[in-house]
Amino acid sequence: MMNKLGLNGFQVSGMKVLMRVDFNVPLDADRNITDETRIVAALPSVKYILSHGGSVILMSHLGRPKGKIVPELSLRPVADRLAELVDGPVKFARDTVGPDAEDKAAGLQPGEILLLENLRFNPGETKNDEAFGAALAQLGDTYVNDAFGAAHRAHASTVGVTKYFETCRAGFLMEKELKNLGGLLGEPERPFVAILGGAKVAGKVEIILNLLEKVDTLLLGGGMIFTFFQSAGLNIGSSLLDEESLEVVKEITARAKDSRADLILPTDCTVATEFNDKSERKDVLVTDIPSDWMGLDIGPVSAQSYQEIIRGAKTIFWNGPMGVFELPSFAAGTRTVADAVAQASDDGALSIVGGGDSVAAANQFGVSDRIGHISTGGGASLELMGGRTLPGIDALSDAKNGV
């Protein structure tokens, strides 16, 4: 799955490259881009194609317009910012497969960039509609996917379009993601420690079960720990409970006893009377959560224990915060984990942060530049680590004889 054709050595001179990118960036109320990380991440592939005599037709989604034209979710602001980043003009099509896109793609010259309007304005995108995929394919001569963040979706722009090209390649960002995450699934250096957090167990069952057979230690935190405690018969007060996952938590706990990994839950937690930064708070053992209190972070004893385990790791995968880190009163657990991952990285460990809130936490605590690899796809990285085949990657051409 990981050994896919890439861009290096690809002769693109005179070709129009249809490239799927992930420009699903956050916009404020005035439609200003508040985080351009995903645009910047696509630049190496774009610049490679342009510098080797090709032109590029970029396509991306933005938000969830659900097949309807939503002006607030237009990619026009992205086209404007991309033009500044490449220091050159970027053409923008007012549609995806309509007359404007077709005319501008037909007239594209070597060295030029065209960005199509939001793919999800067309209902055929998320349905992987055959006609929509075929129409997209008509715009370019070859296909490249550099959108790891959308690789877990079987959409027209990630899967359907690929059947119309002889070869479909991975862009540099896609290759980087596959190399780093693929290394964790192969023969990682040990000890291999995974840290999983977040609100609910649902959505992380597969990755937990898969990691139990791959890692040496699996540390759990975040709101989902209280479902484990409830399953074990403990009182969790008014803490978050993923009631639908109670039975599967029992299965996970049972499987962990015979698995390769040590599954570790916090022994203490920080609780509060209300979900706000000013509420009364205290640290208690997980066996002593008061009835009307809610757990909002792992406790200091557990944070220290987690820190020591992480510092001893050679390979680290982290996805999900330990608590409500956005509120200063409940950020200590996540900050301690973030610092520990950074310190282990400084000492030579391979560290990968799997997207989502973990990236926000790494940025908030100022350790991002010390992490080995920060994934651009939270959902995609989770599914990959959960042992799933990602359709957007599976659809790409396999490399043969190292080419």
Cis peptide before 266 (omega within 30 of 0): no
- SS3 assignment, position 195: strand
Residue 385's closest CA among 120, 175, 124, 182? 182
User: Please, is 203 exposed, middle or buried when counting C-beta atoms within 10 Å of its C-beta (0-12, 13-18, 19+)?
Assistant: middle
- 53 sits in the region (left: phi over 0; alpha: psi -120 to 50; else beta) called left
Strands 91-92 and 113-115: parallel
User: Please, is 229 exposed, middle or buried when counting C-beta atoms within 10 Å of its C-beta (0-12, 13-18, 19+)?
Assistant: buried
Residue 158's closest CA among 23, 57, 25, 22? 22
Distance CA 260, CA 186 (A): 15
Residue with tokens 């351009």: 36
Two tokens, residue 128: 């992987």
Question: Phi, psi (5° rounding) for residue 131?
Answer: -65, -40
CA distance readout (Å), 201 to 163, 383, 385 = 36, 14, 15
Catalytic residues: 38, 200, 356, 379
Distance CA 229, CA 10 (A): 54
Distance CA 269, CA 283 (A): 6
Strands 281-285 and 294-298: unpaired
DSSP 90-152: -EE-SSSSSHHHHHHHHT--TT-EEE---GGGSTTTTTT-HHHHHHHHTT-SEEEE--GGGTT
Distance CA 134, CA 143 (A): 12
Radius of gyration of the chain (CA): 23
